[in-house]
Chain A
Amino acid sequence: MSEEKTDVPYGTLDLLILKTLATLGPLHGYRIARRIEQVAENLVRLNQGSIYPALMRLEQQGWIRTQWGTSETKRKVKFYSLTKAGLKQLSIEVANWERATALVARFLEAES
């Protein structure tokens, strides 16, 4: 694995999780982590464990819900899926993110 991996940008993990669930539907924790890693294509270093506190936070906010299901290894696991409120939150976060990156991009252009 590459040594130049950076951590997941601060505050983006929630967005990544929500987007993942919006795209793929209900998933368990490991699949969510894997999906983020695959999309990022080794650009970021993700401690897979760190998604669990994030999932718990999102659940407490009411943006995702959980259901118990069975994993491929026949073990009882939690499946996470997006709620209506979560879908709305996703669009808000996407908009926020786009605004933020647009702002930063503009500054960078202005400097050059």
Chain B
Amino acid sequence: MKKTFFSILLSTLTFFVARAQQDGYAVGDTAKDFSLLNINGKVFSLNQLAQAKGYIVVFTCNHCPFSQAYEQRIIDLDKKYAPLGYPVVAINPNDPVAEPEDSYPNMIKRAKEKGYTFPYLLDSTQQTAKIYGAKRTPHVYLLSKTSANILRVEYIGAIDDNFDDPAAVKEKYLEKALEAVSKGSKPVVTLTKAIGCGIKWKKP
């Protein structure tokens, strides 16, 4: 009996691990913390913001026009939601060899110029992007922290439905998800897709 239970558990776990490796996270999955170099020269992990109720993890970069189009909205999200317990954590996953504009020095420069109020991290091994399943920039993962300190993936996708014109936005997907999560409920829309710049993976 015990053996059967364990083998089922094991196969279930193997299934989840296999899926996680293949496609990254799905909504409802447990997200892993990471240790990545921040633009201030220090290594940053989510658990350093111990007070946070969750995190807005955004895979983004300097060069991509979609990232640039959303840059001010990302800054505004941090201003609005960090005080409510949901800070923005931005991660640049691009290979600087493929895209020199996304190098670490250029990240520091851009963050300073635009006045980033949040960590801007370099995913130099691209492992975090792979574990999360990020494919493009910008690509958002909204995480909530459970009472057991587990990070639950609540929403994956786009910030809203109009990259081109903030004034023409009809659906603020991420903010809606944030409103739901901050009230302790589940977002209605948990997955959206949008055109973005493909992550520049290191050439094998």
Do A and B truly interact? no
